[in-house]
Structure 1
Amino acid sequence: MLALISSGVAVTRAEIARRTGLARSTVSLRVDALIAHGFVDEGAEAPSTGGRPPRRLSLRTRGYAVAGIDIGASHCRVALLDVGGALLVAREDPLTIADGPEAVLGHVERTLRTLLETAGGAASRTLRAIGVGVPGPVEFSTGRPVDPPIMPGWHHYAIPEFFEERFGVRALVDNDVNVMALAEQRRAWPDALHLLYLKVGTGIGCGIVADGRVHRGARGAAGDIGHIRVGERDNPCRCGNSGCLEAIAGGASLAQRLRESGLEAAGSLDIVRLVGEGNSKAVRMVREAGRAVGEVLSGLVNFFNPETVVVGGALAAVHDQLLAGVREAVYRRSNPLATHVLRIEPSRLGENAAAIGAAILAIEHALSPAQVDRALTTDATAV
């Protein structure tokens, strides 16, 4: 019922009864409980179909908040949203993830407390859940990073427990690409139930939305496409193998090759700058990187058959060149049926995708039937 109300599909008790097939008395009992426990408001009258106008139901958003936390290699972005998904306040700070979990999470904790105070005392008392995205593999069932290559000291660190002990609410942790995929699908492409999100930056990863849900695989490792071998190339990769997509098309690899050619390029942002300046070497490299990404993506398109592929990450800022290469390879190598209605587009949420996606992860947990039932049952038992 809460899902029907929050989505706007059914906004009166009568509409809920028609949609669910439940007796009106059962619907009324459940709706009354949702209202009593602060999940739903019943306010203005809805249009009448004859007789007394029904009162409109809506998700109660005032005073309730979730936090979305994006921890990157060199930044953290913390956003506070109400449970309806509206942004209340956000802040981004530079930091270095290699400083370790205590220093990084301590900074995030202080930032979140500041934002809760900024949003008002009521929000801090009704924080419902926290979502966190990190740039490494995560075992989703425990929320712990597993051998993250750019996160020294974070292996199996108890990130959820860190936040739960300090804020008293459930914290969910996922790979940043997964929460980016969730954000793009929910906010930008809601009709695309099968979507791939490619993050092309220092490294390369893929978030998968299958039938409207994030697909993480058996243990959370799905989508790690950066270490798929591309052709017969032998470029050494930081994982210890050679010929990996990341070693060929990742921002760190491209920057290194540009430096070797005599250009100043420390990372992805410098590549974007050089392309913007019209540097022919940088433009050519980005286009070639797009073709390499497209080679791998063409196999994914044949295998998964998505409706939409979204390309984000630092290098997506030069999407004209990058996507030209990606599209060229995908449409040349993929099955015509798989590409018939396929869209390959740049990210619409940009740098905000991970924080918004982490917040959506928290919202969907807080409003899930299991959590709502638990809240209602606990309160009823207490009474």
Structure 2
Amino acid sequence: MNGSAISTAGGLLQLLRDGRPRTRAKLAQITGLSRPTITQRIDQLLDLGLIAPVEDAASTGGRPSSQIAFNPRARVVLAADLGALHARVAVTDLDGELLAEVSSPRDIAEGPEAAMTWILRAAQTLLPDLGYTADHVAGIGIGVPGPVEFSTGRPINPPIMPGWDRFDIPAAIRAEIDAPVLVDNDVNIMALGELSTSWPGVTDLIFVKVASGIGAGVISGGTLRRGAHGAAGDIGHVALARAADTPCPCGNRGCIEAVASGRALARALSTPERRIERPSEVVALAKSGDVAAIQAIRQAGRDIGEVLTACVSLMNPSTIVIGGTMAQAAEHLVAGVREVVYARSIPLSTEHLTIAPSRAAANAAILGAAQLAIDAALSPERITAALGG
């Protein structure tokens, strides 16, 4: 953070978000700001409730110095994870700790109005039970299973979301809750959730979601990369030679998603006697020891590994994380990915490369949506605006 940013109350808050109590003298030493300026900034943050006094520091001979620290329970954020066939809403504090949640099977094809109503009703149920109201909501993060124009929060031509194209999600939510609303592709928020909770210190990571479809969230230099129009990481529609004649729901042929996604595996494993419809059923078969399912998942890992080999050469990540429903069969899926990536990438790229199943698992998306909202709500710009600056 540059000197001009750290001189503001919002900049000072970024230092304090690590939760460590500090004295005014220590903050003056860290920032280089004068004691009167530090006192002014602290008073501003105290007025917002975002910091609070804590137990005094040990005395060094004179009067003990009062310490202050970040107050994560001052406000809350709402996080929503809308999947193809599920929905989940959670309330977290400003540290991203889950306080309450509700989930339900829901079909994204029911349309945006029904989904927005469900999110708002969930919020109306959860917030009072925690002692909060809509006025305490500092931000709202929402993940959806399709491409999103991040600057507007509108889905753009989402293939499995009929009726959602260019729907103004932020406006629909803000009509009831006056707070910043951030909307992103579900794989991007899963990448954020995984990075923030499970891989401290990692700056270059690729999160691959393998579920009904296939997609990736790309972290480079510690920053989520969305690309020029929010389509970065759409690896599910990269061509795979083995799949050249296989039609894909996107309208093309030969996409990796057409042969390696959970939906594709369910279709391939179905027989007249045994119809399989969901990725979770494929996982259940593999866990029961079904040889055909195990082999299919292993081959899907190899196919995904082919695409990731190119990603490794292009980006040189330190970590590749495999998540989504199919990662519940991680021992087979990840083994296939590793088999190809380690064999076909140059040694310099793979010497310290970790390929692992998701650690955040089913919480990756909801935690990422919360992190998206928290970072927006506590940004220096937002804090300055709250102070009337």
Check 1:22–1:246 CA distance in 2 against 1; reply closer, same or farther (3 A cut): same
Q: Which moved more, 1:122-131 or 1:10-19?
A: 10-19
**What residue in structure 2 maps to residue 381 of structure 1?**
none
Aligned counterpart in structure 1 of residue 319 of structure 2, from 308, 315, 319: 308
Whether the 8 Å CA contact 1:42–1:58 is kept in 2: the answer is yes
Structure 1 segment 133-212 matched on structure 2, within 5 A: 133-212=143-222
Q: What's the offset of the Cα at 1:119?
A: 1.4
Aligned counterpart in structure 1 of residue 343 of structure 2, from 315, 332, 345: 332
Distance of 2:351 and 2:111 partners within structure 1: 46
Deviations 1:74-119 (A, max 9, x none): 1111010111222110111111110111112211211111111221
Aligned counterpart in structure 2 of residue 78 of structure 1, from 89, 101, 107: 89
Aligned counterpart in structure 2 of residue 219 of structure 1, from 229, 232, 235: 229
Whether the 8 Å CA contact 1:265–1:271 is kept in 2: the answer is yes
Q: What's the offset of the Cα at 1:9?
A: 5.7
Distance of 1:230 and 1:275 partners within structure 2: 24
**What residue in structure 1 maps to residue 126 of structure 2?**
115
Is 1:264 the counterpart of 2:275? The answer is yes
Q: What's the offset of the Cα at 1:49?
A: 4.5
Check 1:185–1:73 CA distance in 2 against 1; reply closer, same or farther (3 A cut): same
- Figure out how many residues of one structure are paired with residues of the other and give that number: 377
Aligned-pair RMSD on alpha carbons? 1.4
The alignment-based identity, stated in percent, is: 45
Is 1:103 the counterpart of 2:103? The answer is no
**What residue in structure 1 maps to residue 3 of structure 2?**
none
For structure 1, which runs of at least 5 residues remain unmatched after alignment? Answer: 379-383
Q: What's the offset of the Cα at 1:124?
A: 3.2
Is 1:5 the counterpart of 2:16? The answer is yes
**What residue in structure 1 maps to residue 6 of structure 2?**
none
Is 1:286 the counterpart of 2:258? The answer is no
Distance of 1:137 and 1:17 partners within structure 2: 44
Q: What's the offset of the Cα at 1:351?
A: 1.3
* Corresponding letter in the other structure for 2:250: C
Instruction: Tell me the TM-score normalized by structure 2.
Output: 0.94
Whether the 8 Å CA contact 2:207–2:321 is kept in 1: the answer is yes
Three-state SS of the structure 2 residue aligned to 1:243 is coil
Deviations 1:304-353 (A, max 9, x none): 11111111000000000000000001101112111111111111111121
Deviations 1:192-247 (A, max 9, x none): 11111100011000001122221111111110000001125321111111111101
Q: Which runs of 4+ in 1 moved over 4 A?
A: none
For structure 2, which runs of at least 5 residues remain unmatched after alignment? Answer: 1-11
Q: What's the offset of the Cα at 1:177?
A: 0.5
Deviations 1:5-28 (A, max 9, x none): 111467222222222222222111
Whether the 8 Å CA contact 1:264–1:270 is kept in 2: the answer is no
* Corresponding letter in the other structure for 2:199: W
Deviations 1:18-76 (A, max 9, x none): 22222222111111111122221122112345533222211123341100000011111
* Corresponding letter in the other structure for 1:361: L
Whether the 8 Å CA contact 1:14–1:24 is kept in 2: the answer is yes
Check 1:20–1:102 CA distance in 2 against 1; reply closer, same or farther (3 A cut): same
**What residue in structure 2 maps to residue 355 of structure 1?**
366
Check 1:306–1:10 CA distance in 2 against 1; reply closer, same or farther (3 A cut): farther
Whether the 8 Å CA contact 1:63–1:123 is kept in 2: the answer is no
Whether the 8 Å CA contact 2:49–2:74 is kept in 1: the answer is no
Is 1:33 the counterpart of 2:44? The answer is yes
Three-state SS of the structure 1 residue aligned to 2:161 is coil
Distance of 1:109 and 1:149 partners within structure 2: 25
Is 1:296 the counterpart of 2:307? The answer is yes
